[in-house]
Structure 1
Amino acid sequence: MINDIHIQAILDASHDGIIAVDRDSNIIWVNSIAKEILGLPANIVGQKITRYIPNSDMLRILATGKREIGDIATILNRQIIINRLPMVVEGEIVGAVSTFKEITDIQKMELRIRKQSMESGLEAKYRLEDIIGQAPAMREAKEWAETFARTDATVLIQGETGTGKELFAQGIHLSSQRAAGPFIAVNCAALPGNLLESELFGYEEGAFTGARKGGKAGLFELAHGGTLFLDEIGEMSIPIQALLLRILQEKKVRRISGERIVPVDVRIIAATNRDLEKLMEEKLFRSDLYYRLNVLTLELPPLRERTEDIPLLVASIVEELAERGTRKLGIADEAVLHLLKQHDWPGNVRELRNVVERMVLLCKTDDIRSEDIAFFAKKLNQRRQIRRQENQEVELIRKVLEETKGNKGEAAKILGMDRSTLWRKIKRHGGE
């Protein structure tokens, strides 16, 4: 048989505060969580609740018999959410019970649920100290990132493809007060407009053909309490830009075909390899969204401007490949590193990783030597030759334009090319 001791043990095991009164407002049950939250003494069972809570709302429940769910109150500087219910036996009100929990506990639980519901691979893994680079420009970028992490403002990361924009976004997140919250990344260029809209904002059941039963939470909802990283923001369509701007301003989101407005607390880190100011001039990017995103700006240096970091990067990539079971090799010799430093790396660290991985796979000994990178030397020579040809072409075009006093039609005839071709070459090489 269950006795009073068992019932008290069950109540004390609850994570919610619980207090119950009889029809005469005498306290009949109270658990340890309720005493802690309400600041109640140890022995209060049998006493009037009004002795400790003079204007107790439990009296109203005893009088009306109506349920009150989700009431919010502040008690002892704690915000709590309260449910009050009548205790009814054979149609008669015999008492009332109140259950309550601190709102901060609910928020923490919500964060855990959101993180568990996310797909794997969407959490942040890289800290700022994990990012390799000792070049002055790289050290400066990491110092600024540390500073930005101490605020909650929107960050715009600018840099060429492969410079590590997402690594910095993850690092800022993990160095911020939101580190315990989710980190969600989405590539705005990888999804067409309608699909990007549904991913960002979510949708209700039946919103469109193929919509998931029960609907789907958007990334803004899933990122609540954390960070949403919008990569390649410059590729976002104008209609989606308008929706994004509204959410940034109102901090609320409504799913596609939905009526419910969901408050969201999300920090935005955006990234692009495009010139957003130029896109603004071309009416391809909203100026109001640009100024909303560009509160804090982080410029990442391309690899060609920090070639002193190449030895560190190569060593790290080789070690990573060894841990993945590819091959365990020694450090690349100076001739290899010197050759790697000659390249301008348009694909930056991503391109370097590709070259090093191929280099490791082709290596015939336990150390990486010059002969193991012959494929790269050939590629480098080809690029040098192409660059020389381009420079010669630029010089020739400049000379002919000077002779024709800027007459592009006449210059095109002398050069033996169409006027449109000449225009294209001039524009490619930075002319007007």
Structure 2
Amino acid sequence: MGTSNGRAVSAFTSLKTNGAICGWIGWLNGGKGQIPFSFRDWWSSWYLRHRIAALSEAEKWGPVTILGESPMLREALVALESAARNDLSILFEGETGTGKELFARSLHLLSQRRGAPFQAVNCAMLTDDSLALSELFGHRKGSFTGAMTNRQGLFRAAEGGTLFLDELQALSLKVQGMLLRAVEYGEIQPLGQDQPVRVNVRLVTATNRVSGKLIQMGLLREDLYFRLKGSRIMLPPLRERGSKDILHLAATFLQQRLSDADPWPELGAEAMEQLLQYKWPGNVRELRSVMHNLADQGKTTDSKIVSLGQLRRLLELSSQQDNEPEILAQTNGGIPEEIFQQMVNEGCNFWKAVKAPFMTRELKRSEVQAVISRGLATAGSYKGLLELFNLGASEYKSFMNFLQKNDLHPADGQ
């Protein structure tokens, strides 16, 4: 997909059904096909026959390339190119690991602001309001305990360029209100400074859920949402992008890890079926982790054929690596903390704040576990959670049954 300045976000190509590709498609359609499946052949057939265009920003970020040919990804890329032609705020919506920051960087590189700075922050790491305000807007020396020097903040660091805020919903409603003022008036108020500071920044934001649901849950200000969604772009999860995108990304990640002399892994029929039918909850990020581990494993074994058992062990390992840091981070901030505050400070009960969104799959199991863990750290016991979560004594049994039935007890629960 070309742009007016000769750049491109991705090469939209159709794979020619010959060689290894033809063999794989035949297998996919129930024919004999080529098994074991060769990632090296797939990579060679795709890469050597098609020119892949990449975006690059000096040498700071290295190549920025968005690969794939699924209709859903193409739609997102077309919207990205269109958004790059104007200077409106952009809101990306997509699950964790779908590439929201990669899209944000590509947007910056395609825009007229590409010669200015690109700054990014995951708001889930800004675990309290003081930290968030200091990180975003800056502070003056001595404005609070520990403020030993002046700090300009991300808005001023991105002057003239693009500021990307991932996991926007992790910011408190108070901080979101101050962010709204920055968007509406183009000025910020550093901590400890009397006069506001004018800023010229394109704000790009992202959430890991549909914004309308976050508004209903009280985690996203509706007025801020309407100011930020100058263009709203949905990023598809990997499981909905189709087998060709999964295979090409998998081969690309192997190529990144292996030299020409290294043996490339090959998949038997059962392992191939598992690779394509797996739901990839961590999306592209999880696929990259699995393929890198697969490449490293292949360097220490004589067999190139990957069994179903080997692949499953790698998938289990990647799932553990993805979930453990997520639960830890969410215990200190993000959606679980916002839900916890709804119950403790706003009077919302557990059934409405936690059970309802969990049953409609708006909350992940790890997020509910983080809420429970946060509560146990405060209340000391499950019975203590009743008062904390605005439940009556008679609801204890149903509360515990709900946790047990859905495997929601945190690992350190009492």
| CA distance 1:427–1:333, shift in 2 (3 Å) | closer
Alignment partners' CA distance in 1, 2:304 and 2:164: 37
How far apart are residue 284 of structure 1 and its match?
A: 2.7
Match of 1:353 in 2: 288
Alignment partners' CA distance in 2, 1:123 and 1:231: 20
| CA distance 1:235–1:342, shift in 2 (3 Å) | same
Instruction: Give the counterpart letter for 2:191 in structure 1.
Output: I
Q: TM-score, normalised by structure 2?
A: 0.59
Alignment partners' CA distance in 2, 1:131 and 1:227: 19
> What does the per-residue CA deviation read over 1:329-364, in whole Å, with 9 as the maximum and x for residues that have no partner?
436446344331021111111111121122112225
Q: How does 1:86-235 map to 2 (within 5 A)?
A: 125-127=62-64, 130-192=65-127, 193-213=129-149, 215-235=150-170
The answer to whether 1:289 aligns with 2:239 is: no
Moved more, 198-207 or 253-262: 253-262
Structure 1 residue runs without a partner (length 5+): 1-120, 383-393, 395-416
Q: How does 1:312-327 map to 2 (within 5 A)?
A: 312-322=248-258
Of all paired residues, the percent bearing the same amino acid is 40
Structure possessing the higher relative contact order (Cα contacts under 8 Å, 6 or more residues apart): 2
Of the candidates 231, 250, 264, which is equivalent to residue 330 of structure 1?
Answer: 264
Match of 1:388 in 2: none
Q: Does the residue aligned with 1:153 lie in a helix, a strand or coil?
A: coil
> What does the per-residue CA deviation read over 1:246-296, in whole Å, with 9 as the maximum and x for residues that have no partner?
000110122111124321110111011133322322333211101111221
| CA distance 1:122–1:182, shift in 2 (3 Å) | farther
Task: Give the paired residue count.
Answer: 271
Q: Does the residue aligned with 2:205 lie in a helix, a strand or coil?
A: strand
- Determine which structure has more spread, i.e. the larger CA radius of gyration: 1
How far apart are residue 168 of structure 1 and its match?
A: 0.5
Alignment partners' CA distance in 1, 2:104 and 2:173: 24
Match of 1:268 in 2: 203
Instruction: Give the counterpart letter for 1:166 in structure 2.
Output: E
Of the candidates 392, 398, 409, which is equivalent to residue 419 of structure 1?
Answer: 398
Alignment partners' CA distance in 1, 2:293 and 2:86: 41
Q: Is the CA contact (8 Å cut-off) linking 1:184 and 1:219 kept in structure 2?
A: yes
Alignment partners' CA distance in 2, 1:367 and 1:138: 35
How far apart are residue 328 of structure 1 and its match?
A: 3.4
| CA distance 1:166–1:381, shift in 2 (3 Å) | closer
Match of 1:344 in 2: 279
Comparing both structures, which one devotes a greater share of its residues to helix?
A: 2
Alignment partners' CA distance in 1, 2:301 and 2:288: 20
How far apart are residue 156 of structure 1 and its match?
A: 0.7
| CA distance 1:332–1:276, shift in 2 (3 Å) | same
Instruction: Give the counterpart letter for 1:212 in structure 2.
Output: M
Q: TM-score, normalised by structure 1?
A: 0.57
Alignment partners' CA distance in 2, 1:123 and 1:241: 30
Q: Is the CA contact (8 Å cut-off) linking 1:156 and 1:271 kept in structure 2?
A: yes
Q: Is the CA contact (8 Å cut-off) linking 1:252 and 1:261 kept in structure 2?
A: yes
